Structure 1
Amino acid sequence: MRSLAGLAATVAAASVYLYVLSTHLPPADEHLPPSSLRFPSDLDELRELAEMLKFYKQEHHGYVLLLFCSAYLYKQSFAIPGSSFLNMLAGAIFGPWEGLALACLLTTTGSTFCYLLSSTFGKQHVVRIFPDKVALLQRKVEENRSSLFFFLLFLRFFPMTPNWFLNITCPVLNIPISIFFFSVFIGLIPYNFICVRTGAILSEIHSLDDIFSWATLAQLLAIALAALVPGALIKRYGQTHLKVKDMDGTQYGNRKRQ
């Protein structure tokens, strides 16, 4: 009960902080009312919020940056779905490269916070709520202990297990935080790149002609390569070096010869 109370207090404090930050905005144009600041749930809300924050950023860049980072870390730390929308929002507000740097940094930091929260408050609850999944992942970690870093990279590239579940389970599996940190940072670069570039493209499209421009098509090609090339390399490595058979119904690596 003490661990649950500590976690609840942490969530409550973070929620109050984010609420105060989002409702006490510095003076700005009337086009940005406080009630408009909420997590986007679809592309229309994403586009609307991006336009508002881009306008607001012209005079209050530091505040928008603080608000975005706080909201991102809130979602990642407490394993709340929706990081793809925030990655796209990063691309729309800050541009493709600053947005990518922010997404990679915040994804890694937020996931590490989630790891620490699970280690401090929730290890026994994770095992109690997900006994079978934890047991399966524990077995696969032990089988791949000699290639643990690449095994974790493989799981980030091919999410047989959701990222949020890996974040809360790694402390239970005694995975060192340094290996966890760098596997998240490197393993999610392609995913972050795809989302951020998509957000940047969405913010630039104002008509059908923009969709079929050479610049847009080149960016879409870059996104496709970012998705396919690293994944193909990691998959090839996994087929020969890793044991991930029976994870989520997929079989890779160390297959028996027929």
Structure 2
Amino acid sequence: MEPILWIPAILAGMTTWLYVLSVNIPELGTNNTQKGDLKFPTSLEDLQSVANLLMMYKEEHFLYVLVLFCSAYIYKQTFAIPGSVFMNLLAGALFGVWRSFPLVCLLTATGATCCYSLSKYFGKQYVIKYFPDKIKFMQEKVEENYDSLFFFLLFLRFFPMSPNWFLNLASPILNIPVYMFFFSVFIGLMPYNFICVQTGSMLSQITSMEDVFTTATFIKLAGIALVALVPSFIMKKLKNKKLKSM
């Protein structure tokens, strides 16, 4: 069996699991028997509808809602499906800031690591085939920052315009250790995740997605990313100074 064929097989298995969860939504003990429509939100209207539905169930079926949310979140991260912002906002609405923040950080890192593993074991040759220039560019950057690789990875995650999906796919090809990858995602996406869940906790007050990421927010995230480069810059300077003194 070709390694790449494992990916649709894994996708089918995880999709089946989500389908089973969604169609076996428990009954409410109250007079309200409306089940509504469970789906991945792709707009603010979808998000508010799904949040309202799951809020009804959370009071009586907290474990079910938690398992469903975690399964859906890891599913999207594993297969690099866009829309993490909606899942983060939903987490804030369902669980509040201080419970959802560590939860989504863990789920983000776990799902990204699953994507890393799919690329490493089943799709490496295809990533190299279809993104040769990007892989070459990233390989050069990794080699340039090898002595401070973790801080470089943090910078990439902190920076708001970084293509996280591509970083997940490319990291095993760049020989980035899985433990370093996991913690760089866990820590590096903390600012982004916190902003999302904090906004999600006030979901009823959001009138458009522009309320989530303002220009000021992007500037703050970019500033945090630049701070992550400081240790890397210092380590490079020290290394060059040491080489000159030899």
Q: Distance in 2 between matches of 1:3 and 1:99?
A: 35
SS in 1 for 2:201: helix
- Tell me the CA shift for residue 225 of structure 1: 9.0
User: In 2, distance between residues paired with 1:106 and 1:69?
Assistant: 7
* Structure 1 residue 31, shift from structure 2 partner: 2.2
1:224 Cα deviation (Å)?
9.5
1:61 and 1:240 map into 2 onto residues whose CA distance is: 43
In structure 2, C-alpha distance between the alignment counterparts of 1:237 and 1:41, rounded to whole Å? 32
What is aligned with 2:93?
A: 92
Q: Which residue of 2 aligns with 1:13?
A: 13
Give ranges in structure 2 of 5+ residues lacking alignment: 234-246
Q: How does 1:219-238 map to 2 (within 5 A)?
A: 231-238=222-229
Measure, in 2, the Cα distance between the counterparts of 1:143 and 1:86. 35
Q: Deviations over 1:204-225 (max 9, x none)?
A: x39x9xxxxxxxxxxx9xx999
Q: 1:252 is matched with which residue?
A: none
Residues 237 and 117 (structure 1), Cα distance of their counterparts in 2 relative to 1, 3 Å cut:
closer
8 Å CA contact retained: 1:190, 1:226: no
- 1:120 shift after superposition: 0.9
What corresponds to 2:27 in structure 1?
27
How far apart are the structure 2 equivalents of 1:23 and 1:107? 25
Relative contact order: is structure 1 or structure 2 higher (C-alpha 8 Å, sep ≥ 6)? 2
CA contact (8 A) 2:159 2:221 kept: no
Decide whether the 8 Å contact of 1:32 with 1:56 is kept in 2. no
Contact (CA 8 Å) 1:87, 1:103: kept in 2 or not? yes
Task: Give, in angstroms, the shift of residue 192 of structure 1.
Answer: 0.2
Partners of 1:235 and 1:180 lie apart in 2 by: 19
157-166 or 44-53: which moved more? Answer: 157-166
Q: Provide TM-score, normalisation by structure 1.
A: 0.81
Q: Secondary structure at the match of 1:81?
A: coil
User: What is the percent sequence identity of the aligned residues?
Assistant: 53
- 1:104-128 superposed Cα distances (whole Å, 9 cap, x missing partner): 1100110111111111101111000
* Contact 1:190 1:227 (8 Å CA) reproduced: no
Quick check: 1:73–1:109 contact (8 Å CA) kept in 2? yes
Is the Cα contact below 8 Å between 1:194 and 1:227 reproduced in 2?
no
Q: For the residues of structure 2 that align with 1:147 and 1:175, how far apart are their CA atoms?
A: 12
Q: Given the superposition, is the C-alpha separation of residues 237 and 78 from structure 1 closer, same or farther in structure 2, using an over 3 Å criterion?
A: closer
Give the aligned residue type for 1:19: Y
Give aligned pairs, total: 226
Structure 2 distance, partners of 1:240, 1:13, is: 43
> Structure 1: which 5+ residue stretches go unaligned?
209-219, 243-258
Aligned partner letter, 1:238: L
TM-score normalised by the chain length of structure 2: 0.85
Map 1:74-89; keep pairs closer than 5 Å.
Answer: 74-89=75-90
Whether the 8 Å contact between 1:92 and 1:202 is mirrored in structure 2 is: yes
**Measured at CA, do residues 25 and 75 of structure 1 come closer, stay the same or move farther in structure 2, by a change above 3 Å?**
same
Structure 1 contact 156–163 (Cα < 8 Å) conserved: yes
